[in-house]
Structure 1
Amino acid sequence: MHTRAYFDNQGGSPYNETVDIDLKGFISPGSEEERLVQQLDLSRLPRHVAVIMDGNGRWAEKRRKPRIEGHRAGAKAVQEIVESCARLGVKFLTLYAFSRENWKRPKKEVALLWRLLEDYLRKQDKDLIKNKIRVMVIGRREEIPESTEKELERVEAMTRGFDRLTIVLALNYSGRTEIVDAVKKILQDGDLDSARLDEEAFARHLYTVGIPDPDLLIRTSGEIRVSNFLLWQIAYSEIWITPVFWPDFRRRDILQALVDFQKRERRFGAVHARPSEGV
């Protein structure tokens, strides 16, 4: 199956682009995944998908395993979703990997999380290059452990020229902190001119400058909250919540989210005219 998808700049995004989608070998004939793909309009997929990867600890506890085993299983789920988004033509995938609140967890667990991230990045070198996937990082980077930051900088530099899919890792991230940091930058730059400070100007000072707002926000584990994630950027995002714990999140789940996304009418605050009202 091969098609071309066109992403317009609906909703104020500055992005206009056409991408090729090749699903050969992506799904098995007769599978649930094939049934879901057949329901999709591959020319109307979200450009940017953001994910709150929740439930690693509960997944492990349910199986009477250490919490770190849940995080290891979660890393495997990341691989499958990255591949799925790349094959489907999604251009940006933002993953909430470590929040500023996560520092409150036991020190041993936090240290293992950073080490797990370093190991994951080193193991993904070949796949990132082969599939032309770029890696970016948002968050308070100066507080990230030095060894992890060096690995992140290495991978960012190695993948900077790729554009098939951009993985945005939200690390040591807080939506409120991002907004506060944006205000600080505006003050430092001397841009506090109320006549010129509009939403577009403010957004240029966010961590996500140059990245379109998410079209679809996915949260796993069934919790119904946004957990201080991309508070500015998800103003008009469609939100899809699944009870599935992140380590169990698979290709069929991302496809279900995309099918549901396409059933929704995105109005961005406007009211669509009824047929009798004309246009």
Structure 2
Amino acid sequence: MHGLVHVLVCGGTSVQWLDTTTQEWCRIAGELSSAARGVGMRWITICPYVGWFTEMEREQVCKRIAKATGGSIDRSTVTHLDNDGFTISFNVCADGQQRFVDVADSLPDSLITEDTLSTAMHSPALFDPDLIVVHGPANKVPQSLMWELGYSELVFVDTPWRRLQSSDVQQAISDFTTRERRFGGIDV
């Protein structure tokens, strides 16, 4: 095992997510599950790269993903737990600041701490992502990521979102295993 427990895949615009069919979501979930096998990964979280959803659009995308994966819907997240304990979670909020506000609003004021916010931001995963695989340009950080960037390794891939394959994630994992993690630190 490479110390790789949680991977976040960030790709596609809100428009692309809206246009993704149930069959395509099924394929994407299968590709991501396939990439996770054999490396000890417990969670994959998927979120859009950029964009915005109306409430109706968010519900439409969540229902389509839930139908494709057999997952359950909780607000803006669809979660599917495999028989072997692997969890794939689709977060349908493309705005990291809005997701943070939604999480903070869902917690009682007396319970808002860094730990409770972190737990709620990563739910159902229990930890920060070890690796973030970004389907987008390497010169721009996705607006959907805000909380996750501090302690995660970023790998950018050139594959368009709707052509995502397990080999893209496996290559990112391979790249991850060769890195010296600094957990938010900088070179001095």
**SS of 2:101 mapped into structure 1:** helix
Match of 2:60 in 1: 114
Which of 163, 176, 181 is matched with 2:97 structurally?
A: 176
TM-score by length of 1: 0.52
Does residue 250 in structure 1 map to residue 170 in structure 2? no
- What's 1:263 paired with? 178
**C-alpha contact (below 8 Å) 2:7/2:130 kept by paired residues:** yes
Unaligned runs of 5+ residues in structure 2 are: none
3-state SS in 1 of match to 2:115: helix
In structure 1, C-alpha distance between the alignment counterparts of 2:123 and 2:182, rounded to whole Å: 23
Shift in Å at residue 225 of structure 1? 3.0
| Percent sequence identity over aligned pairs | 20
Which structure has the larger Rg?
1
Structure 2 Cα separation of the partners of residues 259 and 82 of structure 1: 16
Q: CA RMSD in A?
A: 3.9
Provide the rounded CA distance (Å) in 2 between the counterparts of 1:182 and 1:120. 21
CA contact (8 A) 1:92 1:165 kept: yes
> How many angstroms apart in 2 are the aligned matches of 1:206 and 1:225?
22
SS in 2 for 1:178: helix
Structure 1: gaps (5+ residues): 1-42, 59-66, 126-134, 273-279
CA distance in 1: counterparts of 2:24 and 2:139, whole angstroms = 20
SS of 2:29 mapped into structure 1: helix
Match of 2:144 among 229, 253, 259: 229
The answer on 1:44 being equivalent to 2:13 is no
CA contact (8 A) 2:47 2:91 kept: yes
Distance 1:271 1:224 in 2: 19
Distance 2:73 2:180 in 1: 31
Q: Secondary structure at the match of 2:155?
A: strand
Judging changes above 3 Å, is the alpha-carbon distance between structure 1 residues 78 and 89 closer, same or farther for their aligned structure 2 residues? Answer: same
Q: Distance in 2 between matches of 1:191 and 1:169?
A: 25
The equivalent residue for 1:54 is 12
TM-score by length of 2: 0.72
Instruction: Return the alpha-carbon distance in structure 1 between the equivalents of residues 14 and 96 of structure 2.
Output: 21
